[in-house]
Every structure is written in C-alpha cells, then in structure tokens.
C-alpha cells in the first residue's frame, strides 16, 4: 500500500507544480504587457508588410532603402486611418445631437405602439399605460441621461492615445525596421543553430512562415471585407460609410466575434434612419460578406494547416485578450499556433497540441506514430552509445 502511495505522490506533485507554473507564466505574461504588446505589434506590422520589402528587393532595391520605403508606407496607411476615424467621431457627435437622438425617440414610440397593440389583441388591460410606464418612459429617461458627448470624448481619447503614443510608436517603428532588416537571416541562423547541435527550430521556422502567410491572407481578406462593407453602407444611403468600412476591416482580424460586432453599429443606424427593412438589408449584406469571405474564401486560401476548432479560437480570443488586451485578441490565432508548435515539440505535452488541432483523426494518428518512431530511434540509440550488449551484438 505504501509503495502505491509512493508511486502516486510524485505524479500528483508534478500536476500541482505544472498548474502552479502555468499560473506563474500567465501572471508573468500579463505583468510584461508593456513590453510584449509593442513587440507583438511590431511583429504584426513587420509580418504583414514584409511582402512589400521582398518585392522591392526582387526589383534590385537596396535593402536599407526597401526597409525605409516599407516603413513609410506602413506609417502613411496607419496615419490616414487614424485621422479619418478621429474626424468622423466628431461628425457622429454632432449628428447625434441634431438628428439621431430625435430619431431614437421616434423609434421607441413606434415600438411602444406596436407592443401595446399586440397586448391589446391578447386581452391585456391598460396595455398602453403599462408599456409607457415599463418601457417607453424609462427608455426615454435613460436616453436623456446618456452623455453621448462624454462617451465620444472617451472614444476620441482612446483613438488619440493609440494615434499619439509617441514613445511607443517610435519603439514599434524601430522594432519593425530591425525585424524587416533581419528577416532574411532568421532561416540561416536557425539552420546554423541546428548544425551546432543546438535546438532544432525547423518546425518553429515553418510555423513562422505559416503565420506570415496567415497574416497576409487575413489582411487581404480584411481589406476586402472593409471595402465591401463600406460599399454596402454607401449603397444603402447611410452616413459614415467609410467609418463602418474601417471598423469592418479592423475587427475582421478578431476571430469569431469581430465580424459580428462590426455589423451591429451600421445595422442599428439603418434601423434608426430607414426602418426595419433597411436594417434587415444591411444585416443580411454583412452576413453574406462574412459568409463568403470568412467562411468560404479565407479557408480556401489558407487550407487546413491553419485550422483550429471554433471553440479553441473563441477561448484563445478571450485568453489572449485578457492577457494583452486588443493586441492579444488581434493576434489570438497566430499566438495559439505558436503555442501549438511548442506543445507539438514536447513529448510530455504533445497531447495538448493534438487536443487543439483541427486535423482529421487519421492524420493525427499518423503524426503520432511518426513522432513515436522518432522517439523510439533516439531511445534505441542511447544504449548503443553506452555500450549496451544488444548494441554490441548488432555491430
């Protein structure tokens, strides 16, 4: 009995130590947010814009000049987006006071009349008075209490901080310059480390290429989503169609929930300005755009190697968003893929990599057999190096 307890205690201790190490790791990552977020943002910008640098190099542009031109293009693009958003936020604020607030009250009155009429048909006594007391009056009172200018000023401050973080922006741009300059040497450096009997980074290098391809495809699909969403809002006669296009482009990077959130504001605006039919058209248009680009075109371009189960993607968005905020949500899928590669290279935690994989069970089983065969070869080679009798008989 004591032998059984002695065998079980170390395993339980290992579980406790592993859980404690995970908690410490998560706390450390959250504590290191001021350092990690600029690095991740620089990695994202450098990865997305590396094809520009590569194209310039292929056309015999010197490497320093190619990197400089790429950074200038990135800066101009981001600056244009930020300036457009800030200017449109001011327009939203002015139109809320002059137009949208009265329209909201009108829609509340229409909804109250419709609900009261339905309750009258059901035989409810004093339906109109009850609807006014429990729905209309309270809704209008809460609407009057909303300081929309303060909300927009907070949003403007957030955008302003993102746009004017001078120190962080300089750090990010410097990191982007170094990443683009050193990108061509990463592969050779990893091979040199492996040749020097160091860790084998071949899978990590392959994962880096996959992440670069993933971000490139995601950027192209997001741009298409933003253009189509802006065109949809423009054709529906809505205000701020450029703002809704930018919002659809930015939130399309956030898996699962980003596209849904991007469609809510223009749908509500269409409901206020044009009624239910127009709102249904806008909502249906966003749904068609996201279904075609997100559920058909994007998986076709990426293939199955980027596939993660929907539940894993949703949990990863919540997890990385909790640790690193919006940047973590933006890069949730690439970060999860990197973690998957690390787990896949660990004999103790390979089962976690299999658990979060979207590959077919037959392919997972084949990969596990191959990995097991490689491990068996290593284990079999060790006794021979130590002078095992079986090894000497084979020689």
pLDDT for res 92: 75
What band does 231 get if pLDDT is binned at 50, 70 and 90? very high
**Closest Cα to residue 53, out of 39, 35, 74, 81?**
74
Q: What is the pLDDT of residues 161-184, one digit of tens each?
A: 544 455 677 788 888 888 888 776
How far is residue 104's CA from residue 90's CA, in Å, rounded to a whole number?
19
Domain for residue 174, yes or no? yes
Least confident range of 5-14, 70-79, 122-131, 199-208:
5-14
Residue 201, pLDDT above cutoff 70: no
How far is residue 390's CA from residue 395's CA, in Å, rounded to a whole number?
9
pLDDT for res 147: 58
Residue for token pair 């949003």: 155
DSSP summary character for residue 96: I
Global pTM? 0.69
Domain for residue 125, yes or no? yes
Domain for residue 176, yes or no? yes
| Stretch 385-389: mean pLDDT | 42
Number of domains in the chain: 1
Domain for residue 132, yes or no? yes
Domain for residue 373, yes or no? no
In degrees and rounded to multiples of 5, residue 165 shows phi and psi of -75, 80
pLDDT for res 194: 67
**Closest Cα to residue 364, out of 304, 274, 294, 276?**
304
Domain for residue 362, yes or no? no
Please check whether residue 36 is in contact with residue 172, taking contact to mean a CB–CB distance below 8 angstroms.
no
Domain for residue 59, yes or no? yes
Domain for residue 134, yes or no? yes
Q: What is the pLDDT of residues 208-220, one digit of tens each?
A: 777 777 778 888 8
- Show the domain range for 156: 31-183
């Amino acid at each position: 009995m004591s032998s059984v307890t002695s065998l079980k205690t170390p395993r339980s201790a290992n579980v406790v130590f592993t859980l404690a190490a995970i908690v410490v790791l998560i706390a450390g990552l959250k504590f290191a947010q001021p350092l990690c977020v600029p690095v991740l943002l620089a990695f994202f910008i450098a990865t997305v814009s590396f094809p520009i640098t590569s194209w310039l190099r292929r056309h015999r542009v010197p490497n320093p000049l190619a990197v400089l031109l790429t950074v200038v293009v990135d800066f101009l693009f981001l600056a244009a987006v930020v300036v457009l958003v800030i200017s449109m936020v001011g327009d939203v604020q002015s139109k809320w006071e002059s137009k949208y607030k009265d329209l909201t009250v009108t829609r509340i009155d229409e909804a109250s009349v419709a609900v009261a009429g339905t309750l009258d048909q059901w035989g409810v006594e004093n339906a109109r008075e009850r609807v006014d007391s429990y729905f209309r009056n309270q809704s209008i009172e809460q609407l009057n209490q909303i300081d929309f200018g303060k909300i927009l000023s907070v949003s403007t401050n957030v955008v302003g901080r993102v746009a004017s973080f001078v120190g962080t922006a300089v750090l990010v741009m410097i990191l982007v310059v170094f990443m683009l300059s050193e990108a061509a040497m990463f592969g050779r450096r990893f091979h040199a480390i492996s040749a020097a009997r160091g860790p084998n980074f071949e899978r990590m290098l392959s994962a880096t290429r996959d992440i670069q391809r993933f971000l490139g495809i995601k950027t192209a699909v997001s741009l298409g989503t933003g253009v189509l969403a802006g065109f949809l809002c423009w054709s529906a006669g809505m205000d701020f169609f450029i703002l809704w296009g930018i919002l659809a482009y930015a939130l399309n990077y956030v898996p699962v929930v980003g596209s849904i959130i991007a469609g809510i504001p223009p749908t509500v605006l269409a409901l206020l300005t044009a009624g239910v039919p127009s709102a249904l058209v806008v909502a249906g248009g966003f749904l068609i755009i996201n279904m075609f680009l997100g559920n058909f075109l994007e998986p076709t371009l990426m293939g199955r190697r980027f596939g993660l189960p929907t539940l894993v993607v949703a949990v990863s968005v919540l997890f990385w968003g909790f640790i690193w905020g919006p940047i973590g949500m933006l890069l949730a899928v690439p970060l999860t893929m990197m973690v998957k590669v690390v787990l896949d290279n660990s004999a103790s935690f390979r089962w976690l990599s299999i658990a979060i994989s979207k590959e077919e069970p037959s392919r997972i089983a084949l990969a596990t057999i191959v990995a097991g065969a490689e491990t068996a070869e290593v284990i079999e080679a060790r006794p021979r190096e130590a002078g095992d009798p079986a090894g000497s008989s084979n020689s």
